[in-house]
Structure 1
Amino acid sequence: RAADQQNNLELTTYERLVANELATHSFRQVDSAQARYLVGLAYGIRSDMVTVSEPVYYNPWPAPYWGYGRPFDPWGPWGAFPATYVNQSYPIFTHLLGVRITERASGKEVYNVTARNTGGESSLVRAMPYLARSALADFPLGNGVVHTVKIPVDKSGGQSNEMVATGTAPAAAPVPASGAKVVQ
């Protein structure tokens, strides 16, 4: 760490998340003099605007119309006239986490992965557990391979521990659930 990063709570939190994921692969933190590998992190967030054309339906004669003792609309829920379209702009955020593992002695890179998530959530802190988990989901996946990881979300919006079982051994890929976040 640089001198200005020594007391950085955000960086410390992200380092702990990645360290916990690496611990599931038998890595452990040791003093830098004893370490065989060095792990580096890069993270960030980028925002942009996306514009979408959305239909707007218009009915000049709004319901209710009465017939046979109950209300009905003879033009249906979409109105009597064709839809017009309105352009709506929405913010979109891209969260990134890069993990680079190098051999301490030689400096040779042995693993390099970038996890990316795009959506309407602006908080990098809320996205980071998913990014850390997905970045190391198929560790040690070959460098240069792009794949999609789906992480199930439980009812309260947190990470689920559900795993796909094939035979008797659990598989590496979590079970996709409705509302699962897709991370590349």
Structure 2
Amino acid sequence: MKINRWTRRATLLLAALTVLLSGCTTYVTTQVTAFSDWSGSDATRTYAFTRAGDQQNNLELSTYERIVANELAAHAFRQVDTAQARYLVGLSYGIRSDMVTVAEPVYYNPWPTPYWGRPFDPWGPWGPFPTAYVNQSYPIFTHLLGVRITERATGKEVYNVTARNSGGESSLVRAMPYLARSALADFPIGNGVVRTVKIPLDKNGGASNEVAATGAAPAAAPAPASGAKAVQ
């Protein structure tokens, strides 16, 4: 899917503001897009991970599979040998870096000593003044996770979800728990759903168990999974 240049600039600018306000941020925001033809039941949610030929000994992929497996287990999926699995789960992932330039004001105060002016007017009538603007560049990183579920016997694709977020985090492995939890929140969601998922951080800086999702679904939304909160 191609994104026109104005949409991309707007996305990068929003990500830049996220970096600037990172000190106040208490959650990670992820955009999720899903396509679904899901009809499975809890009793048949057995699966195995599938890989391309050149990924058989990929330690990075093994790490991400464990993260996704934890999220699948929360939705009654059980990992088994490939021969016994009803579904095959394939992962795609990546990270891209960009630089965003933001014009920031430089302030000048011609009266460095305290000004005893009107109440609630600590600067008085003279300042500080934005006398110039300086361009500051910030690195922005876009993280991506795709989860594709197919029926092993027929090869039919039954669920395909993509999660994407941006910010100042340069490590994909640190972003992966948020991507995986966002991608599979309230599984299964309707076909063609695009929504935003926010995962709060706990007091130690880790991911909270609470998930808040916003966005319109073309079909009736399923009940949220345990520990998740959906806001339509």
TM-score (norm 1): 0.79
The Cα shift of 1:162 comes to 3.9
- Give 5+ residue unaligned stretches, structure 1: 176-184
In the TM superposition, residue 84 of structure 1 has moved relative to its aligned partner by: 2.2
Are the counterparts in 1 of residues 201 and 208 from structure 2 also a CA contact under 8 Å? yes
Out of 170, 183, 186, which is 1:122 matched to?
170
In the alignment, which of 162, 172, 178 is matched to residue 228 of structure 2?
172
Deviating beyond 4 angstroms after TM superposition, the runs of 4 or more aligned structure 1 residues are 64-67
* Matching residue of 1:15: 65
Contact preservation (8 Å) 2:100, 2:140:
yes
Deviation for aligned residue 1:160? 1.4
Any idea what SS the aligned residue of 2:108 has?
A: coil
Shift of 1:31: 0.9
Residue 36 of structure 1 and its aligned partner are, at CA, apart by 0.6
Within 1, Cα distance between the matches of 2:170 and 2:226?
Answer: 33
Q: Tell me: CA distance 1:120–1:163, structure 2 relative to 1, closer, same or farther (3 Å).
A: closer
Contact 2:209-2:228 at 8 Å conserved across structures: no
C-alpha contact (below 8 Å) 1:113/1:143 kept by paired residues: no
Aligned partner of residue 176 in structure 2, secondary structure: helix
Aligned-partner SS, 1:13? helix
Q: Residue 85 of structure 2 corresponds to which residue in structure 1?
A: 35
Closer, same or farther: CA 84–3 of 1 in aligned 2, 3 Å: same
CA distance in 1, matches of 2:230, 2:186: 11
Give the alignment of 1:68-147 within 5 angstroms.
74-75=124-125, 78-79=127-128, 81-147=129-195
Residues 1:100 and 1:163: Cα distance change in structure 2 (over 3 Å): closer
The alpha carbon displacement at 1:163 in A equals 6.5
Aligned length: 165
Tell me if 1:56 matches 2:125: no
Q: Report deviation, 1:152.
A: 1.3
Residue 157 of structure 1 aligns to a residue whose secondary structure is coil
Shifted more, 50-59 versus 125-134: the winner is: 50-59
More helix by share: 2
Larger RCO of the pair (alpha carbons < 8 Å, separation 6+): 2
How far off is 1:62 after superposition? 2.1
Separation in 2 of the partners of 1:173 and 1:40?
27
Equivalent residue of 2:79, what SS?
coil
Which structure: larger Rg? 1
Task: Tell me the TM-score normalized by structure 2.
Answer: 0.64
Quote the offset at 1:117 in angstroms. 0.9
Q: Is the 8 A contact 1:49 1:90 kept in 2?
A: yes
Give the root-mean-square deviation of aligned CA atoms: 2.5
Aligned partner letter, 2:207: Q
| Shift, 1:2, TM fit | 4.1
CA displacement 1:39-79 (0-9 Å, x = unmatched):
00000001111111111111234224689xxxx75456x42
AA matched with 1:19: A
Q: What residue in structure 2 maps to residue 26 of structure 1?
A: 76
Deviation at 1:82, TM superposition (A): 4.3
> How many percent of aligned residue pairs carry the same amino acid?
81
- What one-letter code is carried by the residue in structure 2 that aligns with 1:12? S
Do the aligned partners of 1:130 and 1:151 also contact (CA within 8 Å) in 2? yes
